[in-house]
Structure 1
Amino acid sequence: MATEAEQATGLTFHPMDQFIVKPLFGAGEVHWYTPTNVTLWMAVVALAIIALLVMGTRGRAIVPNRAQSVAELSYGMVHKMIEDIAGKEGLKYFPYIMTLFMFIVFSNFAGLLPKAFTVTSHIAVTGVLALAVFISVTAIGFIKNGAHFLDLFWVRSAPLAIRPVLAVIEVISYFVRPVSHSIRLAGNMIAGHAVIKVFAGFAAIAAVAPVSILAVVGMYAFEILVAFIQAYVFTILTCVYLKDALHPSH
């Protein structure tokens, strides 16, 4: 039921309702096996990525079409990012990092479509992505370097007296990585979409409708930029963590 304030102003919007996980069929409880709006849009994103990278580049024309151009630009950008940050040794992990980038950027942009669901607004999704990166780079670090991977936490360039303190700080910051990695992405997606919904709600008031519409347009344009930047930031941090795993010495 609408509150007294909503009845007085005529505003009945709820910005956070767009992030509710709902079953696709019926209105029962959501279990781990229940098809939901989240799984639907994750499937849509996966199919869109396949359409771009597989179907869009199947012709391999010398003069590429739009789909091939976007696919090649994405491939080249991620390839150069890995090489510049983690070195040529990091290129063997290119398929995984490319998959991460494409999934996140497509999910972010898909969430800007009308009636769509932004899967990267949920910590359950971004948390799994961040945790997978954390476990992977930690395993790579120990497999490649053995016990020398622990050199990552021992700052040899610092005075010996403060190295133990810095080591504790480094260990804490290392284990906080998946938390910050996931919350940064989910938080930005939630904040932007909620603000758009708030501005859109004020469009029902004739006195402020023009300002509200302009605010929605401006915020939507900003969210397009944020959608790409957050995918880029998540990917570049993954490359930084990979570099630490491959070359742990300070």
Structure 2
Amino acid sequence: MATEAAHGADMAEHAVEGGLSFHPMDQFMIKPLFGAGDVGMFTITNVTLWMFICILAIIGVMVLGTSRRAIIPSRSQSVAELAYGFIYKMIEDVTGKDGLKYFPYIMTLFMFIVFSNFLGLIPMSFTTTSHIAVTWVLALAVFLGVTILGFVKNGVHFLGLFWVTSAPLALRPILAVIEIISYFVRPVSHSIRLAGNVMAGHAVMKVFAGFAALAVVSPVSIVAITAIYGLEVLVAFIQAYVFTILTCVYLKDALHPAH
């Protein structure tokens, strides 16, 4: 049996060497930045590096890019002003004036996600938002923040969020259970939506890039990669927008919990 297993392994190895072999999920592996070995709690990894690059890029656009504050704005100043106005209007439209005091946090959240998504589109880079460990922390921070804020601002009246007064009395207990379950599922769906969409797009691009090695289908693969890359640019912004607007919706529930 051992001889047969070894023979089978040799055949598989030769098949890989003689044919097409690529691993779409290898691009999401977390590796130590210095040396080798296991990744521990305080290990500096490729995730650490690209998070740091993301922070530097945000500082470059939002701080250095707007330092002159010219009447005729530069490109970086235009981007910063557009982002500021976009998030400000979003918060005002969704939560009302009460939510504007939380603008700095929501703006920071949006900029981190959108810059991480776009930096991940650079060849040979690493997309930090493709990992559930990153998006889970972001989503959990939003969940805990709005929950604590809801009780601080409204006390026990925050529980009115789960009691649908517009529904018939007989249905209210059932709806309350559904509302409670959906509320505690929020951080899960909030985090998986972002990580799943980003990971799926990058994996599909890697698959088509692998097929591009075959001369027969390489022209089709290159066209497909170009199209998917264009779609991923759109997805990078949309997913940041969706995560941010859902944060605003959850904030509105904390500020105005009554149905």
TM-score (structure 2 length as normaliser): 0.95
What does 1:189-208 align with in structure 2 at a 5 Å threshold?
A: 189-208=198-217
Corresponding residue for residue 16 of structure 2:
6
Match of 2:149 in 1: 140
Q: Which has the larger radius of gyration?
A: 2
Q: Which AA in structure 2 matches 1:31?
A: G
Cα displacement string for residues 82-106 of structure 1 (whole angstroms, at most 9, x for unaligned residues): 0000000000000000000000000
Q: Determine the structure 2 residue equivalent to 1:150.
A: 159
Counterpart for residue 178 of structure 2: 169
1:129 is aligned with what amino acid? L
Structure 2 counterpart of 1:245: 254
Which residue number in structure 2 is paired with residue 111 of structure 1? 120
Q: What is the alpha-carbon distance in structure 1 between the residues aligned to residue 154 and residue 44 of structure 2? A: 42
Identify the residue that residue 45 of structure 1 maps to in structure 2: 54
Q: Which runs of 5+ in 1 are unaligned?
A: none
Q: Which residue of 1 aligns with 2:6?
A: none
Pick from 187, 194, 212 the counterpart of residue 196 of structure 2. Answer: 187
2:38 to 24, 29, 33: 29
Q: State the one-letter code of the partner of 1:168.
A: V
Aligned to 2:66: 57
Question: What displacement does 1:6 show?
Answer: 3.0
Shift, 1:58, TM fit: 0.4
Alpha-carbon offset, residue 27 of structure 1: 1.1
Matched residue type, 1:54: V
Residues 130-163 of structure 1 show CA distances to partners (whole Å, capped at 9, x for unaligned) of 0000000001100000000000000000000010
Deviations along 1:203-242, whole A, 9 cap, x unmatched?
A: 1100000000000000000000000000000000000000
- The letter for the 1-side match of 2:86 is M
* 2:81 partner letter: E
- Give the whole-Å Cα distance in 1 for the aligned partners of 2:14 and 2:176: 56
1:121 aligns with 2:130: yes
2:116 matches 1:97: no
Measure how far apart 1:3 and its partner are. 4.3
Instruction: Tell me how far apart the structure 2 counterparts of residues 155 and 87 of structure 1 sit (CA, whole Å).
Output: 22
- For residues 23-82 of structure 1, the C-alpha deviation after alignment (integer angstroms, 9 at most, x for no partner) is 001111100100000000000000000010000000001110100000000000000000
Q: How far off its partner does 1:7 sit? A: 3.6
Identity %: 73
Q: Which amino acid aligns with 1:6?
A: V
Count of residues in correspondence between the two structures: 249
SS in 1 for 2:57: helix
Structure 2: 5+ residue stretches without partners: 1-8
Aligned Cα root-mean-square deviation (Å): 1.0
| In structure 2, C-alpha distance between the alignment counterparts of 1:89 and 1:14, rounded to whole Å | 48
Query: Hey, what does 1:84 align to over in structure 2?
Result: 93
- Partners in 1 of 2:16 and 2:109 — Cα distance? 42
SS at match of 1:204: coil
| Superposed displacement of residue 5, structure 1 | 4.7
**C-alpha distance in 1 between matches for 2:179 and 2:34:** 47
> Amino acid of the residue matched to residue 158 of structure 1?
A
Using the TM superposition, give the Cα deviation of residue 12 of structure 1 relative to its aligned residue in structure 2, in angstroms.
1.7
Partner Cα separation in structure 2 for residue 238 and residue 77 of structure 1: 15
Alignment counterpart, residue 75 of structure 2, candidates 66, 75, 83: 66
Deviations 1:178-211 (A, max 9, x none): 0000000000011000000000001110000000
Determine helix, strand or coil for the equivalent of 2:106: helix
